[in-house]
Amino acid sequence: MPQVNQIEINPFHQREDDLQNALSRGNVQLEAWAPFAEGKNGIFENEILLEIGNKYGKSSAQIILRWLYERGIVGLAKSVKKDRMKQNIDIFDFSLTAEDKVKIATLQTSGSQFFNHDDPKTVDFF
Protein backbone atom coordinates (compact mmCIF):
# COMPACT_ATOMS: atom_id res chain seq x y z
CA MET A 1 0.00 0.00 0.00
CA PRO A 2 1.14 3.60 -0.53
CA GLN A 3 2.03 5.41 2.72
CA VAL A 4 0.70 8.81 1.60
CA ASN A 5 -1.80 10.16 -0.90
CA GLN A 6 -1.08 13.79 -1.78
CA ILE A 7 -4.01 15.71 -3.26
CA GLU A 8 -5.15 19.32 -3.52
CA ILE A 9 -6.85 20.45 -0.31
CA ASN A 10 -7.33 24.04 0.82
CA PRO A 11 -10.21 26.14 2.21
CA PHE A 12 -11.59 26.60 -1.31
CA HIS A 13 -11.39 22.88 -2.11
CA GLN A 14 -11.91 21.18 1.24
CA ARG A 15 -12.47 17.56 0.24
CA GLU A 16 -14.86 16.91 3.12
CA ASP A 17 -15.88 13.71 1.37
CA ASP A 18 -15.33 10.04 2.03
CA LEU A 19 -11.79 9.97 0.65
CA GLN A 20 -10.04 10.35 4.03
CA ASN A 21 -12.08 7.52 5.54
CA ALA A 22 -11.36 5.29 2.56
CA LEU A 23 -7.62 5.99 2.82
CA SER A 24 -7.54 5.46 6.58
CA ARG A 25 -8.97 1.97 6.13
CA GLY A 26 -5.71 1.19 4.28
CA ASN A 27 -3.57 3.23 6.72
CA VAL A 28 -2.77 5.72 3.96
CA GLN A 29 -2.01 9.24 5.23
CA LEU A 30 -3.82 12.07 3.47
CA GLU A 31 -1.55 14.98 2.56
CA ALA A 32 -2.61 18.38 1.14
CA TRP A 33 -0.72 19.97 -1.70
CA ALA A 34 -1.33 23.66 -2.37
CA PRO A 35 -2.78 24.13 1.12
CA PHE A 36 -2.75 27.88 0.37
CA ALA A 37 -4.18 27.37 -3.14
CA GLU A 38 -0.86 28.95 -4.19
CA GLY A 39 -2.29 32.29 -3.04
CA LYS A 40 -5.18 32.18 -5.53
CA ASN A 41 -8.51 33.87 -4.83
CA GLY A 42 -6.91 36.24 -2.32
CA ILE A 43 -6.62 33.44 0.21
CA PHE A 44 -4.12 35.24 2.46
CA GLU A 45 -6.39 38.30 2.63
CA ASN A 46 -9.59 36.32 3.10
CA GLU A 47 -11.72 38.13 5.69
CA ILE A 48 -12.94 34.99 7.45
CA LEU A 49 -9.42 33.59 7.82
CA LEU A 50 -8.05 36.97 8.95
CA GLU A 51 -10.87 37.36 11.49
CA ILE A 52 -10.21 33.91 12.96
CA GLY A 53 -6.45 34.59 12.93
CA ASN A 54 -6.90 37.89 14.79
CA LYS A 55 -8.46 36.02 17.72
CA TYR A 56 -5.32 33.93 18.20
CA GLY A 57 -2.63 36.33 16.96
CA LYS A 58 -2.07 34.09 13.93
CA SER A 59 -1.93 34.67 10.17
CA SER A 60 -4.41 33.28 7.66
CA ALA A 61 -1.69 30.81 6.58
CA GLN A 62 -1.42 29.52 10.14
CA ILE A 63 -5.21 29.17 10.43
CA ILE A 64 -5.24 27.04 7.27
CA LEU A 65 -2.40 24.81 8.47
CA ARG A 66 -4.03 24.38 11.89
CA TRP A 67 -7.36 23.51 10.21
CA LEU A 68 -5.61 20.80 8.19
CA TYR A 69 -3.77 19.50 11.26
CA GLU A 70 -6.99 19.24 13.26
CA ARG A 71 -8.50 17.24 10.41
CA GLY A 72 -5.59 14.78 10.56
CA ILE A 73 -4.25 15.96 7.20
CA VAL A 74 -0.55 16.66 6.62
CA GLY A 75 -0.14 20.17 5.16
CA LEU A 76 2.61 20.45 2.56
CA ALA A 77 3.11 24.21 2.53
CA LYS A 78 5.88 25.65 0.42
CA SER A 79 7.80 28.85 1.15
CA VAL A 80 11.19 30.16 0.07
CA LYS A 81 11.17 32.65 2.98
CA LYS A 82 12.70 31.68 6.31
CA ASP A 83 10.28 33.76 8.41
CA ARG A 84 7.31 32.15 6.67
CA MET A 85 8.78 28.66 7.14
CA LYS A 86 9.01 29.42 10.88
CA GLN A 87 5.47 30.80 10.86
CA ASN A 88 4.15 27.74 9.06
CA ILE A 89 5.27 25.35 11.80
CA ASP A 90 4.17 27.64 14.63
CA ILE A 91 0.62 26.27 14.80
CA PHE A 92 0.70 24.09 17.90
CA ASP A 93 -0.17 26.63 20.61
CA PHE A 94 -3.84 27.23 19.81
CA SER A 95 -6.97 25.33 18.73
CA LEU A 96 -9.84 26.19 16.43
CA THR A 97 -13.33 26.21 17.86
CA ALA A 98 -16.33 24.47 16.31
CA GLU A 99 -17.58 27.94 15.35
CA ASP A 100 -14.27 28.72 13.56
CA LYS A 101 -14.62 25.48 11.60
CA VAL A 102 -18.19 26.28 10.57
CA LYS A 103 -16.95 29.62 9.21
CA ILE A 104 -14.10 27.97 7.30
CA ALA A 105 -16.58 25.46 5.84
CA THR A 106 -18.38 28.38 4.13
CA LEU A 107 -15.26 29.04 2.01
CA GLN A 108 -15.80 25.90 -0.06
CA THR A 109 -16.13 26.71 -3.79
CA SER A 110 -17.19 24.52 -6.68
CA GLY A 111 -13.93 22.56 -6.67
CA SER A 112 -10.27 22.51 -7.61
CA GLN A 113 -8.48 25.84 -7.91
CA PHE A 114 -6.30 24.36 -10.64
CA PHE A 115 -7.86 21.61 -12.77
CA ASN A 116 -11.19 20.17 -13.75
CA HIS A 117 -10.42 16.48 -13.42
CA ASP A 118 -13.51 15.61 -15.43
CA ASP A 119 -12.40 17.60 -18.47
CA PRO A 120 -10.73 15.47 -21.20
CA LYS A 121 -8.44 18.47 -21.92
CA THR A 122 -6.94 17.97 -18.45
CA VAL A 123 -6.20 14.35 -19.32
CA ASP A 124 -4.48 15.54 -22.52
CA PHE A 125 -2.50 18.07 -20.48
CA PHE A 126 -1.23 15.36 -18.13
Ligand X SMILES: NC(=O)c1ccc[n+]([C@@H]2O[C@H](COP(=O)([O-])OP(=O)(O)OC[C@H]3O[C@@H](n4cnc5c(N)ncnc54)[C@H](OP(=O)(O)O)[C@@H]3O)[C@@H](O)[C@H]2O)c1
Q: Which residues bind ligand X (CB under 6 A)?
A: 6, 33-39, 44, 59, 61, 76-81, 84, 87-88
Q: Give me the DSSP letters along the chain.
A: --SEEEEE-BTTB---SSHHHHHHHTTPEEEEESTTGGGGGGGGG-HHHHHHHHHHT--HHHHHHHHHHHTT-EEE---S-HHHHHHHH--SS----HHHHHHHHTT--SS-SS--TT-HHHHHH-
In the bound state with ligand X, the residue whose beta carbon lies nearer, of 74 and 103, is: 74
- Least distance to ligand X, CB of residue 16, Å: 18
Cβ closest to ligand X, residue 35 vs residue 73: 35
**Considering the complex, what minimum distance in angstroms separates the CB of residue 75 from ligand X?**
8
